[in-house]
Copies of this chain bind each other. A is one copy, B any other.
Amino acid sequence: MPDSVLVHSPATLSNLGCGFDVLGLALAAPYDTIRLRRTATPGVCIRHLDGYNLPTDPTRNVAGVALLALLREVPEEIGFEVEITKGIMPGSGVGSSSASAAGAVVGANALLGNRFTKMELIDFAMAGEAVASGARHADNIAPAIFGGFTVVRALEPAIDIVALPAPPMWVAVVHPQIEVKTSESRKVLPAAVPLGLAVRQWANVAGLVSGFLTADYELIGRSLDDYIVEPARQALIPGLAEARKRALAAGAIGGGISGSGPSIFMLNKTEAIAQAVGEALGSVFAELGIEFKTYVGPVGTEGAKVICES
């Protein structure tokens, strides 16, 4: 067993299109880089090597809480020393906190001889994610652990994740620097939805899963539309409708709000299209006078992984 590991843990998209709370997708980049060392001292000690000023108290840090949850299942008296270099900007809407939580437990598991299953790692990482989001969610954690395209089929009575391959695609994301509080983006959600609209939504979910599994890009594009959550949240994201319009004109397959916003993602067949789509997305916010960042990267087939150990 190694004493020290270096882990890359990827950005992810959650609430993918029509798949609110269920469908997620891993990117190959950006990613967080996490070094973990096994220590004889019990507990977790965290250092951030980035400038984001995140909490280092392990009970308030997503990676820390995830590791503490894992350590509760470890009979040995050990601990972890953790150095995190965030490649994913916090609040960017591409699963920043999930990447740290998932990467930390994947690294810790390697230091423990890989004794835990991926489902157990998801459980630990969700405890960390809950610190950031206030709720146990797996829709970013699942693709961060498994890579590719994931279905969170159930969390109760047992965690049931379906990990599926995704066809080659490039993701373009724009992160407008406007604050959308998670509490606010929750509050606008409807308590109930008309049955007919719910049926249209799960018809699209069925189409989207079929499209991913048969690598049918046109079907993916037709199926991404979200009839329930995006209409409720679009008022929180100025420029969303125009951004979609320009992205589609630039050749995107389709897209929507990333996570709970304000980031917007678009799926694309090639890197060249994704670059053009990223520019198209950015142009909307430039015109609105809103600062923004864009990311372009391929869909990631792998989840968080140990890239070297010693």
- A residues apposed to B, CB below 8 Å: 18-23, 151-154, 160, 162, 164, 189-195, 198-207, 209-211, 213-214, 219, 222-223, 228
Contacts and interface: CB of A to CB of B under 8 A. Distances in A.
B199 A195 contact: no
Given A160-B207, A205-B206, A222-B153, A191 B195 contact: yes
**Tally of this chain's copies:** 2
A310 to B, nearest CB: 38
A215 to B, nearest CB: 11
A2 B291 CA distance: 68
B21 A203 contact: yes
Contacts of A160: 207, 222
25 contacts: A18-B202, A19-B202, A21-B203, A22-B199, A22-B202, A151-B206, A153-B222, A153-B223, A154-B222, A162-B211, A162-B219, A164-B214, A189-B195, A191-B194, A191-B195, A193-B193, A193-B195, A195-B228, A198-B201, A198-B228, A201-B202, A206-B206, A209-B209, A209-B213, A213-B214
A189 B198 CA distance: 13
Contacts of A219: 153, 162
